[in-house]
């Protein structure tokens, strides 16, 4: 049945396999206490994801400020490289010098197979992201991509609710665009401290979008979970959550989903060393005997049931 899936055209066979494989995780593990199953399935998905990784030096096509706080960079996607999927990420070697030393991870905020273009939405925070804002079209960037396990395909009987908080918007926008073009209904909830940091996106026209701001400067006054509580029409349906953003938001979404006994996928963040699974640096606490999982290769997307929420 997947042969006819329009997603196949965009993300390729390995991407789709990752998507569907991750999907099975929760399908089969109906009993969330079945930790052994989580552990084994995660290992299988990780092996698949690792095979896609390439060392690439694509050309920057554009790089500009898209809101008060965020920038977006578009770069060429090499034809021979496996396409990214929503939720997967890449690492950039920002400088040839020793400062900053480590590669920095960023999620894909969009991908067009037709134009061979990939995008990242990023916030200027420190040394690395400040240097990134100075990259001009025509220069190349040194990246390892695509990395990590992406968001799975939504289950057919659920309404996917895509929740973005702060700079977690990037991968959620990409997921929204992808679901739209495969004809899947979805609802997008975008949370931000204030209206000025939210970029203007075409996804807002494609998918029903609810905006929530902490200061009430636009959309619903409150957090993303407040915004959801204001929509009894949505709450009447069987939902599935796809979230990326600050830890308190992810925790709130997880708790909301758990209370309703619904499935929730979260993309989590951790400081990375190698980003290829070798150093055990990017650990996040998970249930089960291993205690920790690596965000770079076993994540960044996890079933929220797997995470130990502190």
Partner 1 sequence: MDLSVTIGRTTMPNPVGVASGTFGYGSEYEQLIDVDSIGALYTKAVTRAARPGNEIPRIVETTAGLLNSIGLANVGQERFVTEKYPSLRERACTVIVNVAGDVEDDYVETVEFLEEHAPLSGYELNVSCPNVKAGGLAIGTNPELVEHVTTRVRSVTERPVIVKLTPNVTDPAEIARAAEAGGADAISCMNTLVGMAIDVKNLRTVLPGKTGGLSGPAVRPIGVALAYRVSRAVEIPLIGIGGIDGPDAALQYLLAGAVAVQVGTANFVDPTVTGRTIDGIRTFMQEHNLQRVGEIASLLR
Residues found near ligand FAD in the complex (CB under 6 A): 89, 100, 102, 104-107, 120-123, 125-129, 165-168, 170-171, 191-193, 212, 214, 223-225, 244-250, 252, 267-272, 300
Cis peptide, bond prior to residue 146, ω within 30 of zero: yes
* Residue 98 interaction partner, one of ligand FES, partner 1, ligand FAD, none, beta carbon < 5-8 Å per kind: partner 1
Asked if 65 contacts 296 with a C-beta cutoff of 8 angstroms, the reply is: no
Give the integer Cα–Cα distance in Å for 95 and 129.
11
C-beta of 78 vs 100, nearer to ligand FAD: 100
Asked if 82 contacts 12 with a C-beta cutoff of 8 angstroms, the reply is: yes
Q: Which residues within the stretch 54-83 sit at the binding site for partner 1 (CB under 8 A)?
A: 54-55
C-beta of 237 vs 285, nearer to ligand FAD: 285
C-beta of 154 vs 171, nearer to ligand FES: 171
Q: Please give the DSSP secondary-structure letter assigned to residue 308.
A: -
Q: Give residue for tokens 């008060």.
A: 68
Q: Looking at 49-57, 71-79, 260-268, 273-281, which segment touches ligand FMN (CB under 6 A)?
A: 273-281
Among 103, 135, 254, 256, binds partner 1 (CB under 8 A): 103
Answer positive or negative: Cα dihedral of 114, 302, 132, 248.
positive
Which is nearest to 303 in space by CA: 31, 5, 13? 31
SS3 state of residue 292: strand
Q: Are strands 208-213 and 187-192 parallel, antiparallel or unpaired?
A: parallel
Q: Which residues within the stretch 259-298 sit at the binding site for partner 1 (CB under 8 A)?
A: 270-285, 290-292
Q: Which residues within the stretch 219-258 sit at the binding site for ligand FMN (CB under 6 A)?
A: none
Which is nearest to 306 in space by CA: 269, 270, 254? 254
Residue 23 interacts with partner 1 (CB under 8 A): yes or no: no
H or E element in which residue 177 lies: helix 169-181
Residue 101 interacts with ligand FMN (CB under 6 A): yes or no: no
Distances (CA, A) of 70 to 85, 133, 170, 199: 22, 10, 10, 8
The DSSP-derived string for 93-115 is: E--SSSSS-S-EEEE--EEETTT
Among 214, 273, 285, 309, binds ligand FMN (CB under 6 A): 273
Q: Which residues within the stretch 133-192 sit at the binding site for ligand FMN (CB under 6 A)?
A: none
- Closest distance to ligand FAD from the beta carbon of 211 (Å): 9
- Closest distance to ligand FMN from the beta carbon of 166 (Å): 28
Residue 44 interacts with ligand FMN (CB under 6 A): yes or no: no
Residues that bind partner 1 (CB under 8 A): 50-55, 93, 98-103, 144, 270-285, 290-292
Residues that bind ligand FMN (CB under 6 A): 273, 279, 281
């Amino acid at each position: 049945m997947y042969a006819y899936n329009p997603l196949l055209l965009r993300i390729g066979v390995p991407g789709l396999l990752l998507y569907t494989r991750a999907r099975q995780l929760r399908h089969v593990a109906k009993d969330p206490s079945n930790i052994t199953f989580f552990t084994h399935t995660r290992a299988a998905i990780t092996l698949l994801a690792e095979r896609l990784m390439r060392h690439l030096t694509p050309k920057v096509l554009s790089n500009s400020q898209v809101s008060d706080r965020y920038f977006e960079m578009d770069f060429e996607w090499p034809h021979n490289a496996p396409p990214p999927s929503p939720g997967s990420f890449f690492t950039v070697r920002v400088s040839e010098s020793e400062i900053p030393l480590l590669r920095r991870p960023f999620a894909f905020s969009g991908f067009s197979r037709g134009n061979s273009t990939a995008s990242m939405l990023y916030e200027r925070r420190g040394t690395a992201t400040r240097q990134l804002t100075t990259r001009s079209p025509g220069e190349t960037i040194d990246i390892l991509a695509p990395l990590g396990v992406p968001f799975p395909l939504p289950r057919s009987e659920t309404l996917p609710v895509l929740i973005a908080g702060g700079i977690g918007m990037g991968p959620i926008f990409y997921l929204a665009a992808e679901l739209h073009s495969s004809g899947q209904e979805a609802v997008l909830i975008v949370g931000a401290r204030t209206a000025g940091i939210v970029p203007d996106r075409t996804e807002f026209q494609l998918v029903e979008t609810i905006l929530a701001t902490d200061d009430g400067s636009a959309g619903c006054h409150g957090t993303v979970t407040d915004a959801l509580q204001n929509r009894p029409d949505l709450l009447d349906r069987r939902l599935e959550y796809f979230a990326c953003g600050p830890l308190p938001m992810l925790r709130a979404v997880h708790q909301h989903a758990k209370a309703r006994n619904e499935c929730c996928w979260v993309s989590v963040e951790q400081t990375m060393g190698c980003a290829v699974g070798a150093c055990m640096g990017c650990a996040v606490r998970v249930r089960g005997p291993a205690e920790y999982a690596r965000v770079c290769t076993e994540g960044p997307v996890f079933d929220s049931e797997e995470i130990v929420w502190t």
